[in-house]
């Protein structure tokens, strides 16, 4: 390349046409070099920040860069090169920031031919250190609703509290802890009140480093409480416990009656408004009614409340941040209750019973085009936008898939937009195999969550599968099949673009043209990304096995006959557990006396419902090994004698 154009012109004049041609050629090389300089990145944005990191994203507009260079400076300083990231990158997380400091950033692309122009500049400030008590809430207000509660509200002034403590007393100087409220909470309803009583309230914020100052003390006058009859409310339910609450009446006694298929009993309680019934049987329906006797001797009966305890496996699952949870063994008619106990229940309704069956009170089988829908699913949108994280979980078994197109298993969507979905379709390159795909709408995708995130590992049709998809606030996404990662990717986070009118739909999409056919055992939505350990934990807490039964244990055995065999060997598979499902590919191998596998067939589809037949005609006489195996190892072996 000629670097001094004036010298080049002089040389050309002196040496004639040959040098003119060489100069022209060099100029074309120079032009191509200029063209090869990468395009500048655009759209530099601060996606997330905290006291210890700043998360940057940008748009990569070039196909020729070798790296991106990030420059940074603080107030009063000049930009300086700070970090280098690889080609095709579109994000960077700066973990070297100081708390309560403003930072300025810009990015450019480089390759061997030069540097691009700078991107736009962005600046942001990190949060204060959280290792201090939170700031005090202010503007505490409240009132008696003239029925049965005091409603409180306040302003949250802190970003590092773990929760709020509500204090109450009947005098200004005798406040004691009444209850706690979760982080970012700004209201509380006090039902534990008596008629014609003056109450004093105060609230403070708290974290692991201490407590804030309390708010100013608030006085609330409570008038006559209206009690037509006590209202019995379900607060919580587990596999072995039910927690109930009711409006407390001072100086009253209570008898809580419980009945089930086993017994009817009464529990006498005094001066309380909450009770936890323990030692219950899992997956059992209990009925409760409360009898109240007030100080005047009048007796009132509450509503009758029916509660079904959760299946035994629920106590072994990851339960934190569960915002929607459907256990199909607890289906009630055409309704599948939301068992998450998070916000307003988003119960599912089966749209059509034709072609559906509730099998052995264990799962819902769908063979016709159908769907289950929860129209009041706004809590899912709100919960996930609060954390910018998500986990989707399903236990399913496919019975048939469309020849073309997809079958949607779980989605949150409207007619025109989609928040998320898990779907499946045929893997045409591998007959009998399924691949799964996830669509998730974030601030960087279209409103249908494209591009797809596809499982790299395919699964067997007709075999029970445990599916989990996780997406965290740093953009990392993982798809798991049966407890193991099937793909890992990156999708920039933030769910700000989610719309307001989504419905939660299972076994189809909103338009009804992506029907899933097969068995539904369980579906769940979390507003955080489960860890790989929690995914495995939920996998082994399967929704169909009997008490204390471990999924895919080695309880299978084979019975082969005739033995000795000459022509056809028939293999029966034995297992005493009637509700066992198969989640892995099981194979039967026949190994000859020299140790070579000479027959190898998959038996997952028939393991619980039929037998396998092996053609052994023409084999050399001898003692052969028959082996039943799954991905975790050998399940059973038998010696087979073959005669000819």
pLDDT given at position 73: 95
Round to whole Å and give the CA distance between 271 and 249.
8
What is the residue-averaged pLDDT of the chain? 84
pLDDT score at 430: 80
The whole-angstrom separation of Cα 606 and Cα 610 is: 5
Predicted local confidence at residue 40, as pLDDT:
94
Q: Do 233-308 and 138-222 fall under one CATH topology?
A: yes
Give 496-500's long-range contacts (Cβ < 8 A, gap of 24+): 496/385, 496/443, 497/441, 497/442, 497/443, 497/447, 498/381, 498/384, 498/385, 498/419, 498/441, 499/414, 499/417, 499/419, 499/447, 500/378, 500/381
pLDDT computed for residue 407 by the predictor: 95
Q: Residue 84 contacts by C-beta under 8 Å, 6 or more apart in sequence?
A: 67, 68, 69, 70
> Could you report the per-residue pLDDT of 304-348, keeping only the tens digit for each?
999 999 988 888 888 889 999 999 988 888 999 999 988 888 999
Say if residue 554's pLDDT is above 80. no
Q: For 119-147, how does the pLDDT look when each residue is reduced to its tens digit (9 = 90+)?
A: 999 999 988 776 788 999 999 999 998 87
Highest mean predicted confidence (pLDDT) among 2-6, 244-248, 507-511: 507-511
Round to whole Å and give the CA distance between 392 and 523.
8
pLDDT at 21 over 60: no
Query: Which residues contact residue 363 at a Cβ distance below 8 angstroms, ignoring those fewer than 6 apart?
Result: 328, 329, 519, 520, 521, 544
Distance CA 558, CA 601 (A): 14
* Calpha distance 241→310 (Å, rounded): 9
The string of pLDDT tens digits covering residues 205-228 is 998 788 999 999 999 999 987 665
Buried residues in 302-330 as b, exposed as e (16+ CB within 10 A): beebebbbbbbbbeebbbebbbbbbbbbb
Cα separation of 362 and 159, whole Å?
Answer: 45
Of 32, 24, 5, whose CA–CA distance to 113 is shortest?
Answer: 32
> For the chain, what are the domain ranges?
5-35, 42-125, 138-222, 233-308, 316-540, 557-642
Flag whether pLDDT at 400 surpasses 90: no
Question: Which residues is 504 bridged to in the sheet?
Answer: 374, 412
Architecture of domain 138-222: Sandwich (2.60)
- Predicted confidence at residue 578, as pLDDT, reads 52
Higher pLDDT, 267 or 13: 267
pLDDT at 411 over 50: yes
Domain 233-308 is classified in which CATH homologous superfamily? Immunoglobulins (2.60.40.10)
- pLDDT value at position 32? 36
Taking the CB of residue 550, how many other CB atoms lie within 10 A of it? 11
pLDDT band per the 50, 70, 90 thresholds, residue 19: very low
- 49-71 mean pLDDT: 89
Percent of the chain with pLDDT over 90: 47
Instruction: Give the pLDDT score at 295.
Output: 66
- pLDDT at residue 315, as a whole number: 84
At 297, is the pLDDT very low, low, confident or very high (cuts 50, 70, 90)?
confident
β-strand pairing of 197-207 with 218-222: antiparallel
Average pLDDT over residues 606-610: 75
Among the listed residues 116, 120, 117, the one whose alpha carbon sits nearest the alpha carbon of residue 57 = 120
HSE, CB side, 13 Å, CA atoms: give it for residue 485. Answer: 12
Nearest to 61 by CA among 46, 47, 48, 44: 44
DSSP H or E run through 638? strand 633-642
| Topology (CATH level 3) of domain 316-540 | Jelly Rolls (2.60.120)
The fold of the 42-125 domain, in CATH, is Immunoglobulin-like (2.60.40)
Task: Among 2.60.40.1930, 3.30.2350.10, 3.10.20.740, 2.120.10.30, name the CATH number for the domain at 557-642.
Answer: 2.60.40.1930
- Specify the DSSP element, H or E, that contains 325: strand 322-327
pLDDT band at residue 449 using 50, 70 and 90 as cut-offs = very high
In 3D space, the residue among 154, 142, 130, 141 whose CA is nearest the CA of residue 204 turns out to be 154
């Amino acid at each position: 390349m000629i670097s001094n154009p004036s010298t080049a012109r002089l040389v050309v004049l002196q040496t004639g046409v040959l040098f003119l041609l060489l100069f022209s050629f060099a100029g074309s090389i120079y032009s191509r070099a200029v063209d090869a300089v990468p395009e500048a990145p655009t759209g530099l944005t601060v996606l997330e920040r905290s006291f210890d990191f700043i998360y940057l994203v940008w748009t990569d507009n070039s196909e020729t860069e070798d790296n991106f260079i990030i420059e940074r400076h603080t107030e009063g300083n000049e930009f300086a090169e700070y970090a280098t990231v690889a080609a095709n990158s579109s994000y960077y997380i700066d973990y070297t920031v100081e708390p309560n400091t403003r930072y300025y950033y810009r990015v450019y692309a480089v390759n061997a031919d030069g540097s691009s122009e700078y991107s736009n500049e962005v600046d942001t400030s990190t949060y204060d250190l959280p290792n201090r008590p939170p700031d005090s809430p202010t503007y505490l207000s409240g009132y008696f609703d003239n029925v049965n509660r005091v409603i409180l509200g306040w302003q949250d002034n802190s970003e590092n509290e773990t929760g709020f403590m509500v204090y109450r007393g009947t005098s200004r100087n005798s406040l004691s802890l009444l209850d706690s409220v979760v982080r970012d909470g700004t209201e509380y309803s006090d039902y534990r009140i008596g008629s014609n009583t003056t109450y004093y309230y105060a609230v403070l914020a708290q974290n692991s480093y201490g407590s804030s100052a309390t708010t100013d003390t608030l006085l609330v006058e409570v008038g006559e409480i209206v009690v037509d009859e006590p209202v019995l409310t379900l607060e919580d339910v587990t596999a072995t416990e039910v927690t109930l609450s009711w409006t407390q009446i001072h100086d009253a006694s209570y008898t809580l009656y419980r009945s089930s298929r086993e017994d009817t009993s009464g529990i006498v309680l005094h001066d309380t408004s909450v009770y936890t019934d323990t030692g219950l049987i899992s997956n059992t329906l209990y009925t409760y009614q409360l009898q109240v006797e007030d100080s005047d001797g009048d007796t009132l009966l509450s509503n009758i409340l029916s509660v079904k305890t959760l299946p035994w496996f629920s106590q072994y699952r990851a339960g934190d941040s569960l915002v929607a949870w459907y256990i199909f063994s607890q289906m009630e008619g055409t309704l599948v209750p939301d068992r998450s106990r998070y916000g307003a229940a988003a119960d599912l309704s089966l749209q059509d019973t034709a072609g559906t069956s509730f099998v052995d009170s264990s799962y819902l089988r769908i063979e016709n085009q159908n769907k289950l829908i929860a129209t009041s699913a706004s809590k899912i949108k709100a919960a996930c936008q609060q954390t910018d994280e998500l986990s989707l979980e399903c236990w399913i078994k496919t019975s048939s898939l469309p020849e073309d197109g997809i079958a949607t298993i779980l989605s949150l969507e409207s007619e025109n937009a989609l928040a998320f979905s898990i779907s499946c379709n045929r893997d045409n390159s591998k007959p009998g195999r399924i691949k799964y795909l996830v669509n998730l709408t974030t601030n960087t995708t279209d409103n249908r969550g494209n591009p797809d995130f596809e499982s790299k590992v395919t699964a067997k049709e007709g075999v029970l599968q445990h599916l989990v998809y996780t997406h965290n606030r740093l953009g990392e996404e993982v798809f798991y099949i049966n407890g193991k990662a099937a793909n890992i990717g990156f999708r920039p986070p933030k769910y700000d673009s989610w719309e307001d009118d989504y419905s939660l739909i299972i076994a189809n999409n909103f338009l009804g043209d992506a029907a899933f056919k097969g068995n539904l055992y369980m579906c769940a939505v979390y507003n955080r990304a489960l860890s790989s350990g929690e995914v495995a934990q939920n996998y082994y807490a399967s929704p169909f096995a009997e008490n204390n039964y471990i999924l895919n244990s080695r309880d299978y055995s084979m019975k082969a006959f005739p033995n000795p065999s000459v022509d056809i060997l028939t293999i029966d598979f034995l297992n005493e557990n009637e509700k066992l499902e198969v989640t892995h590919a099981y194979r039967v191998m026949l190994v000859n006396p020299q140790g070579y596998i000479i027959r190898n067939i998959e038996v997952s589809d028939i393991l619980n419902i039929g037998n396998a037949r092996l053609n052994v005609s023409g084999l050399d006489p001898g003692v052969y090994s028959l082996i039943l195996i799954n991905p975790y190892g050998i399940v059973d072996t038998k010696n087979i004698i073959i005669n000819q």
